[in-house]
Chains A and B, each alone.
Chain A
């Protein structure tokens, strides 16, 4: 092997080795996820208030009146932002499919609170609008509109998908218990 070839080969080996050695380092850029932040909501979880004075206290049937909504987390799983849900109490007579009606309880229906457009927290509003002359869910970021009476279907605005529904049932003391998995992926699609 002549010197030129040796130098050439050394350089190439060096470059390949350096790139290979860098990969594990570069992968760490992906960041860490706390174990508690990956706990998913599961059947049997009790829903608790996410905000306010009652934070971490169970949400019950009597916590709100018709056409009100509260933000809630499954108990003990508050570190995973994707678990945030909006529990709405609606007029049961107005609710129709594609709502999973078996997953509602006396007008109480829960949807993921993470907007399917770009991940902001959605709000419940009673104020009638042109496109939604009834209580509805809207996103304060880019004005997405959802119909909580009909499976949180998109009424208008930029959201590409309905909010996934979280089936619920009532517990013995009126607590709201998760009755099944979310009906779709939470938040922004990848």
Chain B
């Protein structure tokens, strides 16, 4: 009896193979974006396991290089002092950037192809949750090196939490374990980043993929014409062996890419930022939070309103209301889109001018808010930035709509002309 047969007999692997290994995967470059995010998560967990061996989650003062610095900061300098340590820390950092970038592109792909429609609303909502928790996990990770950048970013986060209406002060103290800067915050954020984040993200990813397995991918619209079974037939390459090989290649290419980035481009150099001091340095958040940062700069201090006994001030409007409304709009996309939907096929993005225009306007809005984060560098005043933030998305949306509508009209007329 062969080795494989021994397992075969006990685990009935042929049934498993028949059921799952033949799962067809559509072949299109944009269908790899989610996988890239997943692989980044795997790389983050693996590099995180290594970093956790050296990191000290405490801000007790220790002596390093002749000065007293927080132990957390000193341990990160120690990691950076070793060639392997610094490489792994950079890979960890770059993977986080790539994961959020891949998630954003994945979301854009699902949006523009209308793949969020019934019955896939659940995975849209879960996906948005994954995006939110990934950003939250990164934010918790910001604090850990305990350098000037870390302390400034987390201090602002604490300030934002405090401005939450009605419950702000209490919630901020619960989340940050006391008034920041408190010695309890680093151990708490270490737990968030190292224990809670991987478990939560891992669980959400599993559910996201199980739902995908159950509901199947949407297929490229080109397949619709070839399908004679009314959608019951799914085209694509099987999970084993073709898709598995593609995934393995993708994983290796991704690893090569982040390694190359990490080898040549330093990311978050803690020694450069230096240990925390009382003066606040001029820092900007990472690119994926620049839009919130820009919104905070745009809302003037005298803008506020009262709601049920709470004052909603400029800080809460910029950091919570604006991002909250944008997140809610994204969350409700499957319910706002009333166009008749196909269970099986993705839509050609160019065929639906309304959706295309809304998506482009949304992306422009995020870009315009991010631009406002550079108001000092660009020497643009707040009123000018307000103009840009309001008019540019509308302009981009309108132009997109007109172009896409004309293209659709042309294709319909040329089509009927042929008939």
Is B155 a contact partner of A190 (Cβ separation < 8 A)?
no
Is B301 a contact partner of A188 (Cβ separation < 8 A)?
no
* Partner of A143 from B155, B163, B279, B297 at Cβ < 8 Å: B297
Q: Which A residue sits closest to B284, measured CB to CB?
A: A141
Which residues of the other chain, B, contact A141 by a CB distance below 8 angstroms? 152, 156, 280
Is B279 a contact partner of A123 (Cβ separation < 8 A)?
yes
Is A121 a contact partner of B174 (Cβ separation < 8 A)?
no
Q: Which of B162, B172, B278, B304 has the most CB of A within 10 A?
A: B278
Q: How far is the CA of A190 from the CA of B368 in the complex (A)?
A: 29
- Does B281 sit at the interface, judged by CB under 8 A? yes
- Does A5 sit at the interface, judged by CB under 8 A? no
User: Which of A60-68, A91-99, A156-164 lies at the interface with chain B?
Assistant: A156-164
Contact A157-B178, Cβ < 8 Å, known A118-B159, A187-B159: no
Q: Mark A170-189, 1 if CB is under 8 A from B, else 0.
A: 00000000000000000111
Which residues of the other chain, B, contact A158 by a CB distance below 8 angstroms? 296-301, 314-315, 318
User: Which of B76-84, B181-189, B258-266 lies at the interface with chain A?
Assistant: B181-189
Is A188 a contact partner of B163 (Cβ separation < 8 A)?
yes
Q: How far is the CA of A35 from the CA of B168 in the complex (A)?
A: 23
Contact A118-B278, Cβ < 8 Å, known A30-B174, A34-B183, A160-B304: no
Q: Mark B167-180, 1 if CB is under 8 A from A, else 0.
A: 01110111011110
Contact A31-B159, Cβ < 8 Å, known A117-B315, A121-B279: no
Q: Which B residue sits closest to A71, measured CB to CB?
A: B278
Contact A189-B311, Cβ < 8 Å, known A30-B173, A143-B375: yes
Smallest beta-carbon distance B72→chain A, Å? 17
Q: How far is the CA of A161 from the CA of B311 in the complex (A)?
A: 13
Q: How far is the CA of A156 from the CA of B318 in the complex (A)?
A: 15
* Partner of A117 from B159, B174, B302 at Cβ < 8 Å: B159
Is A121 a contact partner of B278 (Cβ separation < 8 A)?
yes
Q: How far is the CA of A142 from the CA of B375 in the complex (A)?
A: 10
Q: Which A residue sits closest to B168, measured CB to CB?
A: A190
Q: Which A residue sits closest to B156, measured CB to CB?
A: A118
Is B174 a contact partner of A159 (Cβ separation < 8 A)?
no
- Does B42 sit at the interface, judged by CB under 8 A? no
Is A189 a contact partner of B297 (Cβ separation < 8 A)?
no
Contact A33-B178, Cβ < 8 Å, known A154-B301, A159-B301: yes
Is A32 a contact partner of B182 (Cβ separation < 8 A)?
yes
Is B278 a contact partner of A142 (Cβ separation < 8 A)?
no
Is A160 a contact partner of B160 (Cβ separation < 8 A)?
no
Q: Which A residue sits closest to B381, measured CB to CB?
A: A130
- Does B293 sit at the interface, judged by CB under 8 A? yes
Q: How far is the CA of A72 from the CA of B297 in the complex (A)?
A: 27
Smallest beta-carbon distance A30→chain B, Å? 5
Is A121 a contact partner of B280 (Cβ separation < 8 A)?
yes
Which residues of the other chain, B, contact A102 by a CB distance below 8 angstroms? none
Smallest beta-carbon distance A6→chain B, Å? 36
Smallest beta-carbon distance A117→chain B, Å? 6
* Partner of A71 from B162, B172, B279, B311 at Cβ < 8 Å: B279
* Partner of A190 from B162, B280, B301, B319 at Cβ < 8 Å: B162
- Does A15 sit at the interface, judged by CB under 8 A? no
Interface range, B side: 35 or more
Smallest beta-carbon distance A158→chain B, Å? 5
Is B314 a contact partner of A117 (Cβ separation < 8 A)?
yes
Which residues of the other chain, A, contact B183 by a CB distance below 8 angstroms? 32, 34
Which residues of the other chain, B, contact A29 by a CB distance below 8 angstroms? 174, 177
- Does B376 sit at the interface, judged by CB under 8 A? yes
Q: Which A residue sits closest to B166, measured CB to CB?
A: A190
Contact A32-B178, Cβ < 8 Å, known A140-B280, A158-B296, A188-B315: yes
Smallest beta-carbon distance A79→chain B, Å? 10
- Does B277 sit at the interface, judged by CB under 8 A? yes
Is A160 a contact partner of B177 (Cβ separation < 8 A)?
no
Which residues of the other chain, A, contact B296 by a CB distance below 8 angstroms? 117-118, 142, 158
Residues of chain B in range 180-228 having any CB-CB distance to chain A below 8 Å? 181-185, 188
Q: How far is the CA of A31 from the CA of B173 in the complex (A)?
A: 7
Smallest beta-carbon distance A120→chain B, Å? 4
Is A32 a contact partner of B184 (Cβ separation < 8 A)?
yes
Contact A188-B159, Cβ < 8 Å, known A31-B185, A156-B382, A158-B318: yes
Q: Which A residue sits closest to B296, measured CB to CB?
A: A142
Which residues of the other chain, B, contact A120 by a CB distance below 8 angstroms? 152, 155-156, 159, 280
Is B159 a contact partner of A157 (Cβ separation < 8 A)?
no
Contact A30-B297, Cβ < 8 Å, known A117-B315, A118-B159, A120-B156: no
- Does B269 sit at the interface, judged by CB under 8 A? no
- Does A119 sit at the interface, judged by CB under 8 A? yes
- Does B231 sit at the interface, judged by CB under 8 A? no
- Does B282 sit at the interface, judged by CB under 8 A? yes
Which 8 pairs between the two chains have the least Cβ-Cβ distance?
A31-B178, A31-B177, A118-B159, A190-B169, A119-B159, A120-B280, A121-B280, A31-B184
- What are 27 pairs between A and B in contact, CB < 8 Å? A29-B174, A30-B173, A30-B178, A31-B177, A31-B178, A31-B188, A32-B177, A32-B178, A32-B182, A33-B182, A37-B179, A37-B182, A51-B279, A81-B181, A117-B315, A118-B156, A118-B159, A119-B158, A121-B280, A123-B279, A142-B318, A143-B375, A157-B297, A188-B159, A188-B315, A189-B163, A190-B163
